[in-house]
Amino acid sequence: MNLRIAIFDDNNNIRDSISLLLKTEKDFEVVGSFAHVLDCVEEIKKCKPDVILMDIEMPGMTGIEAVKTIRKEFPHVQVLMQTVFEDDDRVFESICSGASGYILKNSLNTRLIDFIKELQYGGSPMSPSIARKVLTKMQQIPEHVRPEATPDYHLTPREKEVLACVVNGLSYKMVADQLFISYETVRSHVKKIYEKLHVASLTEVVHKAMKERIV
């Protein structure tokens, strides 16, 4: 089974040379090659890629914007960012936008095929210097922001479902419909949740659940 690849890069030469390179790999198929991302949603719908190589610098919409859109519209598609620059903000922003990997263009020729294969097998290829930046960034993230060992309130699976609904703003009645149970059952679960979280109102539940990422 072939891996379908699409390329977004405003430099025609680069697109062509990448295409040529990828064609040397039997299992790869370049199904699209585009100079900008303005119509990327339509183009992706048409060519159905599994993997997208995305240049970060492009006219019109930037690669970063595009990744956000793509990840929203096509969550299963893997996006591998490529750039000549490695300035911290962009790297970080790209990753937060949902890129699955981030490589420098100078490592193109030699290792691109390996990187794509790594993607395919569930990895996240990064150029060494990028990987270092990412780790450093993570280490800088202030203590209080990190998922600091989420306390376990011993909610049952069902309670967690109810909690998730409530946190999303649903009323008891709506939760009941959503989970195909009665209003009273929802109430029972919520009462249990109140006990376990030591709170006494829905707003507190939402607050606590979101703050501590129990949801």
- The binding site for a copy of itself (CB under 8 A) comprises 89, 92, 95-96, 98-101, 118, 121-129, 131-132, 134-135, 137-139, 141-142, 144-149, 166-171, 199, 201-208, 210-211, 213
Give whichever of 91 and 175 is closer to DNA, judged by the CB atom.
175
Single out the residue of 188, 206, 207, 212 in contact with DNA (rule: CB under 7 A). 188
Question: By CB under 7 A, how many residues form the interface with DNA?
Answer: 24
Which run of H or E residues covers position 78? strand 78-83
158 lies in the binding site for DNA (CB under 7 A): yes
Selection from DNA, a copy of itself, none that 144 binds (CB < 5 to 8 A by kind) is a copy of itself
Inter-residue contact 49 to 5 (CB < 8 Å): yes
Selection from a copy of itself, DNA, none that 121 binds (CB < 5 to 8 A by kind) is a copy of itself
Inter-residue contact 166 to 191 (CB < 8 Å): no
**DSSP string of 56-76?**
S--SSS-HHHHHHHHHHH-TT
Inter-residue contact 25 to 113 (CB < 8 Å): yes
151 phi, psi to nearest 5 deg: -60, 145
140 lies in the binding site for DNA (CB under 7 A): no
Least CB distance from residue 113 to a copy of itself, whole Å? 15
Residue 49: exposure state from Cβ atoms within 10 A (0-12, 13-18, ≥19):
buried
210 lies in the binding site for DNA (CB under 7 A): no
Least CB distance from residue 191 to DNA, whole Å? 6
Cα 6 from Cα 79, distance rounded (Å): 10
184 lies in the binding site for DNA (CB under 7 A): yes
Selection from DNA, a copy of itself, none that 100 binds (CB < 5 to 8 A by kind) is a copy of itself
Give whichever of 13 and 144 is closer to a copy of itself, judged by the CB atom.
144
68 lies in the binding site for DNA (CB under 7 A): no
Cα 67 from Cα 76, distance rounded (Å): 12
Cα 108 from Cα 115, distance rounded (Å): 9
